[in-house]
Chains A and B, each alone.
Chain A
Amino acid sequence: MSREVYFLCMTLVAGVVTIALRAFPFLMFSGNRPVPTVIRYIGRVLPPAAIAMLIVYCYCSAYQGKSFASGGFGVPELAASVLVVALQIWKRNPLLSIIAGTVLYMVIVQNFV
Chain B
Amino acid sequence: MTKRVLKAAFISSLPVLMGYSAMGMAAGILLAGTVKLKFLPFWAFLSSGINISGALQFIMVNWTEALLPLAQVALLTFCLNVRYAMYGFSLIEKFRPLPWLKRCYLIWSLTDETYALEVDSAARTPAGENQLDFCFGVAFLDHLYWIFGVTAGAVIGTALPFDSRGIDFAMTALFLVVLTDQCQSKVNRLSAAVGIISAICGRVFFSTSNMLIPAMVMMGAVFVIFRGKFERRLPQKEECQ
Q: In the complex, are the beta carbons of A24 and B88 less than 8 A apart?
A: yes
Tell which of A41, A53, A89 touches B180, judged by Cβ atoms closer than 8 Å.
A89
Q: In the complex, are the beta carbons of A50 and B195 less than 8 A apart?
A: yes
Q: Mark A1-35, 1 if CB is under 8 A from B, else 0.
A: 10110111111111111110111111001000001
Cα A113 to Cα B80 in complex, Å, equals 29
Q: Return chain B residues, CB-CB under 8 Å to A106.
A: 164-167, 169
Cα A47 to Cα B85 in complex, Å, equals 11
Size category, B interface: 35 or more
Q: In the complex, are the beta carbons of B166 and A110 less than 8 A apart?
A: yes
Tell which of B87, B171, B195 touches A49, judged by Cβ atoms closer than 8 Å.
B195
Q: In the complex, are the beta carbons of A21 and B199 less than 8 A apart?
A: no
Q: Mark A60-91, 1 if CB is under 8 A from B, else 0.
A: 11111000000000001100110011001100
Q: Return chain A residues, CB-CB under 8 Å to B67.
A: 1, 3, 6
Residues from 62 to 100 in B contacting A, C-beta threshold 8 Å:
62-64, 67-68, 70, 73-74, 77-89, 91-92, 95
Q: In the complex, are the beta carbons of B51 and A18 less than 8 A apart?
A: yes
Q: Is B198 an interface residue (CB 8 A)?
A: yes
Cα A62 to Cα B132 in complex, Å, equals 42
Q: In the complex, are the beta carbons of A50 and B173 less than 8 A apart?
A: no
Q: Given contacts A18-B77, A84-B176, is CB(A3)–CB(B35) below 8 Å? A: yes
Q: Is B1 an interface residue (CB 8 A)?
A: no
Q: Given contacts A7-B47, A47-B83, is CB(A29)–CB(B92) below 8 Å? A: yes
Q: In the complex, are the beta carbons of B50 and A88 less than 8 A apart?
A: no
Q: In the complex, are the beta carbons of A14 and B192 less than 8 A apart?
A: no
| A-B contacts, CB under 8 A, total | 270
Cα A11 to Cα B57 in complex, Å, equals 9
Q: Is B3 an interface residue (CB 8 A)?
A: no
> Which of B19-27, B117-125, B141-149, B153-161 lies at the binding interface?
B19-27
Q: In the complex, are the beta carbons of A49 and B198 less than 8 A apart?
A: yes
Q: Given contacts A61-B62, A95-B19, is CB(A101)–CB(B83) below 8 Å? A: no
Q: Return chain A residues, CB-CB under 8 Å to B181.
A: 88
Q: In the complex, are the beta carbons of B88 and A22 less than 8 A apart?
A: yes
Q: Return chain A residues, CB-CB under 8 Å to B22.
A: 95, 98-99
Q: In the complex, are the beta carbons of B89 and A40 less than 8 A apart?
A: yes
Tell which of B23, B92, B200, B231 touches A98, judged by Cβ atoms closer than 8 Å.
B23
Q: In the complex, are the beta carbons of B192 and A51 less than 8 A apart?
A: yes
12 examples of A-B residue contacts, CB within 8 angstroms: A26-B95, A38-B227, A41-B231, A43-B86, A44-B240, A53-B212, A58-B171, A63-B208, A77-B172, A81-B173, A84-B173, A97-B176
By a beta-carbon cutoff of 8 Å, the part of chain A in contact with chain B is: 1, 3-4, 6-19, 21-26, 29, 35, 38-64, 76-77, 80-81, 84-85, 88-89, 94-95, 97-99, 101-102, 105-110
Q: A21-B84, A52-B179, A55-B179 are in contact. List 9 more A-B contacts (CB 8 A).
A: A22-B110, A23-B107, A48-B179, A49-B191, A52-B196, A53-B199, A54-B175, A58-B172, A60-B208
